Amino acid sequence: MKGALYIVSTPLGNLEDITIRALRVLKEVDLIAAEDTRHSRKLLTHYGISKPLISYWGEKERARAEEILRSLEAGKSVALISDAGTPGISDPGGVLIREAIEAGFRVIPIPGPTAAIAALSAAGFSMEGFVFAGFLPAGESQRRKALQELSLERKTLVFYEAPHRIVVTVAAMAEVFGERKAVIIREMTKLHEEVMRGNLRDLSDRLSETKPMGEYVVVVEGRKAEKVTTEDALEEVGMLIKKGLRRKDAVKRVAEEYGLSKKELYDRSLSGD
């Protein structure tokens, strides 16, 4: 009988943020695949869990995925955990998950902490829909391009960022998004958790005056409804088409959003090609 791969969410920082089901699964599986065994051993020791551990961090991920698949084929059950939060969400684990699915193994999610959702719940912005952008590109031009592609998005935006890039990233957001409101949470659920609220320009100034430490989640409000020019609407249509929408559907969405003529917008979008 083939084994099963359990995707187990673990605490972001506070060790109390783990579900009863997650603890049971970690105690019952045959093997635990951890992003960093040294980090995960602290959690497991805290709850008296002693199981064989295998690391799949960085360069080891693809090679270790093959090893873990062999364990699954032998009928063993495996729990996949990352250093914090949910594996595969801007964390290693995606390679193993995809290969396990392709090989026909059962992949079972054990839900729990995810930094993006936790930050979104406390931000106070619209939660009717949101866009999770994860980590932006490290290069300046690529980062700016990614932000520009998101600049017309009406949904709330959620980003992750490392301490050595948080200052330049928020400065770039302020330049592209303007004075939109944002919430920045540092070291979520940990001893030195800090929540910063304000507009992006003010937050950028505040960050430049401090020493960045810890992991960051940045939540930015979506673009506000406003009267737009036809040129702005055409730009938004173009962005939606690049994302994979058919021209007809992109035009319909934008025209209805801003109260514009669908026929006129469609014709203008064609002439702009």
pLDDT, residue 254, reads 85
Query: What is the 3-class SS of 143-180, one letter each residue?
Result: HHHHHHHHCCCCCEEEEEECCCCHHHHHHHHHHHHCCC
pLDDT, residue 182, reads 98
The closest alpha carbon to 55, from 75, 77, 82, 28, belongs to: 82
Q: What is the mean pLDDT of residues 254-271?
A: 84
Q: What is the mean pLDDT of residues 37-59?
A: 92
pLDDT above 70: percentage of residues in the chain: 97
Please, which pLDDT band fits residue 77 given cuts at 50, 70 and 90? very high
Query: What is the 3-class SS of 48-76, one letter each residue?
Result: CCCCCEEECCCCHHHHHHHHHHHHHHCCC
> Contact 36/67 with Cβ under 8 angstroms?
no
The CATH number that domain 4-113 falls under is: 3.40.1010.10
* DSSP strands (E only) in the chain: 4-8, 31-34, 53-55, 78-81, 106-110, 130-135, 156-161, 181-186, 194-199, 216-220
Residue 142 vs residue 235, higher pLDDT: 142
Domain with CATH 3.30.950.10 in the chain: 116-220
pLDDT, residue 1, reads 60
Q: Which helix (H) or strand (E) holds 96?
A: helix 94-102
> Contact 183/196 with Cβ under 8 angstroms?
yes
pLDDT, residue 96, reads 94
Residue 72: pLDDT over 80: yes
> Contact 200/177 with Cβ under 8 angstroms?
yes
> Contact 184/213 with Cβ under 8 angstroms?
no
Domain with CATH 3.40.1010.10 in the chain: 4-113
pLDDT digits (tens, 9 = 90+) for 160-219: 999 999 999 999 999 999 999 999 999 999 999 999 999 999 999 999 998 889 999 999
Kindly state the DSSP code that residue 232 receives in the 8-state scheme.
H
pTM for this structure? 0.81
Residue 273 vs residue 222, higher pLDDT: 222
The closest alpha carbon to 219, from 130, 151, 150, belongs to: 130
The CATH number that domain 116-220 falls under is: 3.30.950.10
| Dihedral sign, Cα of residue 102, residue 108, residue 111, residue 113 | negative
Please, which pLDDT band fits residue 227 given cuts at 50, 70 and 90? low
pLDDT, residue 258, reads 76
Residue 272: pLDDT over 80: no
